[in-house]
A and B are shown apart, each in its own frame.
Chain A
Amino acid sequence: QKEVEQDPGPLSVPEGAIVSLNCTYSNSAFQYFMWYRQYSRKGPELLMYTYSSGNKEDGRFTAQVDKSSKYISLFIRDSQPSDSATYLCAMSGDDTGRRALTFGSGTRLQVQP
């Protein structure tokens, strides 16, 4: 079983929809959580960064972390065709014994005009 699980999709939604992307994880030592957006044939671009549990909002994007359930989410409001990309969750922690991020395998999102 992977340490971070992410539904690969593809997730197809109409323009203007609210999108919910999710990851579950098994290591309770994770405490820093990130969402990356990756367009086709490009490098991952950092979208959101949160520490521990709670919500963080940035424009149309909201990141939620529920450490008790080991579950993180990214919500995209008023989705646009330009949001079509692969979304990767990533996480790290002080007590994981490793210095790199642990990534989910990514969810491919398609927003239909």
Chain B
Amino acid sequence: NAGVTQTPKFQVLKTGQSMTLQCAQDMNHNSMYWYRQDPGMGLRLIYYSASEGTTDKGEVPNGYNVSRLNKREFSLRLESAAPSQTSVYFCASSRTSGHTTREQFFGPGTRLTVL
């Protein structure tokens, strides 16, 4: 089992460029998440998808869009990248009981630099 995979591993963008970060999981989890991690800020939730066909905003959604393509895949799009979006991006998945997430499993991350 690969668990949670993310592509690309690294990316450098210029301000105003767009890109899509890809995430896939093979654990048959219903819920998937996108986080960003910045020094001193911990992990902050950008968007999540509780189940296929649904998406909801997290703590820091501005400047991002998401697509839950199917049960396995959840993508994050930056339409017009800004230097403030320089960060490490993690995708995660979990089984969900009712409305509550339990343990989440993380991908290896994408290091994004916006110049």
Cβ of A59: which chain B residues have Cβ within 8 Å of it?
Answer: none
The chain A residue with its CB closest to the CB of B58 is A100
Question: Which of A8, A44, A93, A104 is within 8 Å of B100, CB to CB?
Answer: A93
Q: How large is the interface on B (under 10, 10 to 19, 20 to 34, 35 or more residues)?
A: 20 to 34
Question: Which of B40, B43, B48, B50 is within 8 Å of A103, CB to CB?
Answer: B43
- Do the beta carbons of A8 and B108 come within 8 Å of each other? no
Determine whether A24 belongs to the interface, using a CB cutoff of 8 Å to chain B: no
- Do the beta carbons of B96 and A99 come within 8 Å of each other? yes
A38 CB → nearest B CB, Å: 9
- Do the beta carbons of A8 and B40 come within 8 Å of each other? yes
Most A CB within 10 A of own CB, among B31, B50, B56, B101: B101
- What is the predominant secondary structure among interface residues of chain B facing chain A? strand
Within 8 A of B (CB), among A43-68: 43-46, 49
Cβ of B33: which chain A residues have Cβ within 8 Å of it?
Answer: 100
- What is the predominant secondary structure among interface residues of chain A facing chain B? loop
Give A85 to B56 CA distance when docked, in angstroms: 31
B3 CB → nearest A CB, Å: 9
- For A, the interface residue count at a CB cutoff of 8 angstroms equals 24
Determine whether B104 belongs to the interface, using a CB cutoff of 8 Å to chain A: yes
Instruction: Digitize A88-107: 1 where CB-to-B-CB distance is under 8 Å, 0 elsewhere.
Output: 10101110100111011110
Most B CB within 10 A of own CB, among A88, A93, A101, A104: A101
The chain A residue with its CB closest to the CB of B104 is A101
Q: Could you list 14 examples of A-B contacts with CB < 8 Å?
A: A32-B102, A32-B103, A41-B109, A43-B109, A46-B104, A46-B105, A88-B43, A94-B98, A94-B99, A99-B50, A100-B33, A101-B101, A103-B42, A103-B43
Chain A contact residues, CB within 8 Å of chain B: 8, 32, 34, 36, 41-46, 49, 88, 90, 92-94, 96, 99-101, 103-106
Chain B contact residues, CB within 8 Å of chain A: 4, 31, 33, 40-43, 45, 48, 50, 56, 58, 90, 96, 98-109, 111
